[in-house]
Amino acid sequence: MKILDCTLRDGGYYTQWDFDKKLTERYFTAMEQLPIDVVEIGYRSHASNTYFGKYYYSPVSLLQKARQLMPTKKLALMLNLKDCPANDSLIPLLEKCRGYADLFRIAADPAKINEAIALAKFIKSLGFGVALNLMYLSELKNSVTIVERLGELDGVADCISLVDSYGGVYPHEVAELIKYCKNFTNVPLGFHGHNNIELAFANSLAAIEAGCEFVDGTITGMGRGAGNLKTELLLTHLSAKAGYNVNYDVLSNIVHDFEHLKAAYQWGTNLPYMVSGINSLPQQNVMDWISKRYYSVQSIVRALHNKKLGTDDN
Amino acid sequence: MKILDCTLRDGGYYTQWDFDKKLTERYFTAMEQLPIDVVEIGYRSHASNTYFGKYYYSPVSLLQKARQLMPTKKLALMLNLKDCPANDSLIPLLEKCRGYADLFRIAADPAKINEAIALAKFIKSLGFGVALNLMYLSELKNSVTIVERLGELDGVADCISLVDSYGGVYPHEVAELIKYCKNFTNVPLGFHGHNNIELAFANSLAAIEAGCEFVDGTITGMGRGAGNLKTELLLTHLSAKAGYNVNYDVLSNIVHDFEHLKAAYQWGTNLPYMVSGINSLPQQNVMDWISKRYYSVQSIVRALHNKKLGTDDN
């Protein structure tokens, strides 16, 4: 079983992908000393008109520093499928990472499985490692035609991770879906949980039990909306139950660093995230409602009601 | 399945059982409007030399107010077995509650199963409802002789709740233990989780699935150490998956009230609680270390090491 830590990539939703340089250097140093297999540093993106910080673009200077501080780790970068179609304009974006990034992970809506497969093959043809993060796991069980196509990534992708985008699935659902997907592909599977209903850890355990080979976590759970599986929880579990060698001084110090950020940004679950997760409402909507301080649970319940009626959310 | 909310009783570990009068009145009013079956108001205790607030004693004036605001709910009080042996001095303590309290729950160390059974029978003989909270669930699987005796409470107790005192058990362990206990007693079983490794909800689901009939929760998880199953999470689940009718305005308002307290007292899990939970170290030790601000994870790891060697914790 391999651990992928994506604290900066997923945590960037709270900081617009800006992070203090010293913090990230301590983070890279800690990752190097902990039993983490893959560190996903940030997004790799084309230029944008909206302001985003360094970890949205992951420039070469950043990759050099990351590689220097994590010589023994696999380094990953995420590509948003919707912003990165498989065409020649992508080549320079990827080529600049050669020698630094081991893996590009494609974040894809399952509805865009054609484009995702095409992009994975394109990246592979350039000689890079590639993985797929398939969002909206909860909808896959009704999408046989998508799951059946995962075999097209055999020999192409290093991992296909199923993402509980809404944070609302239950352990038995995760286990069933992992087992089902294994019927159609021999690519190692992964799981990326969200913690809306405090099942990120239980779901990750169920995924591992069902044969999943990669688990995503973030320090203090820093990540979009209600946040992710806490890497420190997974490591504590693996230390106690599977003999992993964890340096608790290193782990404790980096957790402490991110707890300062958490005090400012307040990720983690709460009643609105619980209600939205269990009812499959997008994290981003709830983040916006909460950050603008005009949300009420009643507004979420109203959105749910509208959704059932097929009208637009507000 | 019945829900027991013990926010004030278990949350009192953070406030020395002092709570603002207006807050508790809003809490009682909310409980009355939510699908909660039993409300455990506080401890019932003999006079003590240490200072404890009102909810450690639950005087009649408090019970009258609680009954007035929650006319349709069962009201419970907890007795600490170690402070309340079954003798005549207990009679006035209990008699003053007659007409207000429906249930006395005995918090008992399984090593004191003799005294717990004696106290349960004594309370029952006085005509009160009685239940048992059996602590240190994780040790019960090695204590066949204790589990075998639970049948002596048939016809005596209304519920026997298994308490994950350390907050370190896993769903399959809870399920196995619940099923095992059902071989020896026909008293309805309950589960009281702690959230050190973020499994309070997953463990409660496993307990329900295994035939458990009572689940304990607290608003915002307020409770000893890393805290409890969040009542709002259980209600959100039951609302989405089992058709429970939950007034989200009422729920949201009372959660909001306790979030103010949480900002001050900071319950919830963190790395020290995770490490101690998974390794069965007492919550109270870690609470003390944290509140005195001289803990380090290293001190906990050292305590663990001492425990393995059979020497005293520091």
pLDDT tens, residue by residue, B264-276:
999 999 998 998 8
Nearest CA in chain A to B259: A270
Q: Do the chains contact at B171 and A202, CB–CB below 8 Å?
A: yes
Q: Do the chains contact at B201 and A202, CB–CB below 8 Å?
A: yes
CA B171 to CA B164: how far, in whole Å? 11
Neighbouring C-beta atoms of residue A311, cutoff 10 Å? 10
pLDDT bracket for residue A290 (50, 70, 90):
low
Nearest CA in chain A to B200: A198
Beta bridge partners of A74: A38
User: Are residues B86 and B119 in contact, defined by beta-carbon separation less than 8 angstroms?
Assistant: yes
Q: Provide the 8-state DSSP code for A3.
A: E
User: Are residues A313 and A279 in contact, defined by beta-carbon separation less than 8 angstroms?
Assistant: no
What pLDDT sits at residue B312?
Answer: 42
Question: Chain A within 8 Å of B237 (Cβ-Cβ)?
Answer: yes
| pLDDT tens track for B12-64 | 999 999 999 999 999 999 999 999 999 999 999 999 888 899 999 999 999 99
- Which residue among B201, B274, B297 sits closest to A233, beta carbon to beta carbon? B274
Q: Do the chains contact at A240 and B200, CB–CB below 8 Å?
A: no
Nearest CA in chain A to B280: A240
Neighbouring C-beta atoms of residue A255, cutoff 10 Å? 22
What pLDDT sits at residue A42?
Answer: 98
Q: ∠B69-B71-B72 over CA atoms, to 5°?
A: 130
Question: Chain A within 8 Å of B275 (Cβ-Cβ)?
Answer: yes
Residue A123 confidence (pLDDT) above 80: yes
What pLDDT sits at residue B233?
Answer: 98
Q: Do the chains contact at B278 and A237, CB–CB below 8 Å?
A: yes
Q: Do the chains contact at B274 and A197, CB–CB below 8 Å?
A: no
Find the helix packing angle between A60-69 and A21-33, rounded to 10°.
Answer: 40
CA B65 to CA B60: how far, in whole Å? 9
Q: Do the chains contact at A248 and B297, CB–CB below 8 Å?
A: yes
**pTM here?**
0.94
CA A178 to chain centre: 17
Beta bridge partners of B108: B134
Beta strands B159-163 and B129-134 are: parallel
Question: Chain B within 8 Å of A232 (Cβ-Cβ)?
Answer: yes
- Which residue among B205, B278, B298 sits closest to A236, beta carbon to beta carbon? B278
Taking Cα atoms as reference points, which of B182, B239, B170 lies closest to residue A277? Answer: B239
Question: Chain A within 8 Å of B183 (Cβ-Cβ)?
Answer: no
What is the per-residue burial (b if ≥16 Cβ within 10 Å, else e) of B224-260?
bbbbbbbbbbbbbbbbbeeebebebebbbebbbbbee
Count Cα atoms within 13 angstroms, Cβ side, for B38. Answer: 27
CA B195 to CA B193: how far, in whole Å? 7
CA A80 to CA A137: how far, in whole Å? 17
Percent of chain A's residues with pLDDT above 90: 81
Neighbouring C-beta atoms of residue B217, cutoff 10 Å? 26
Chain A residues 95-124 with a CB less than 8 Å from chain B: none
Nearest CA in chain B to A203: B202
Q: Which residue positions in chain B have pLDDT lower than 70? A: 283-284, 286-314
CA B279 to CA B45: how far, in whole Å? 31
Written as six digits, the tokens of B134 are: 């059996």
Taking Cα atoms as reference points, which of B178, B177, B164 lies closest to residue B229? Answer: B164
What pLDDT sits at residue A68?
Answer: 98
Beta strands A74-80 and A38-43 are: parallel
Question: Chain B within 8 Å of A275 (Cβ-Cβ)?
Answer: yes
Q: What are the chain B neighbours of A205 within 8 Å (beta carbons)?
A: 170
CA B269 to CA B259: how far, in whole Å? 15
User: Are residues A78 and A107 in contact, defined by beta-carbon separation less than 8 angstroms?
Assistant: yes
CA B196 to CA B184: how far, in whole Å? 29
Written as six digits, the tokens of B110 are: 């399984």
What pLDDT sits at residue A2?
Answer: 98
| pLDDT tens track for A205-263 | 999 999 999 999 999 999 998 999 999 999 999 999 999 999 988 999 999 999 999 99
CA B32 to CA B68: how far, in whole Å? 10
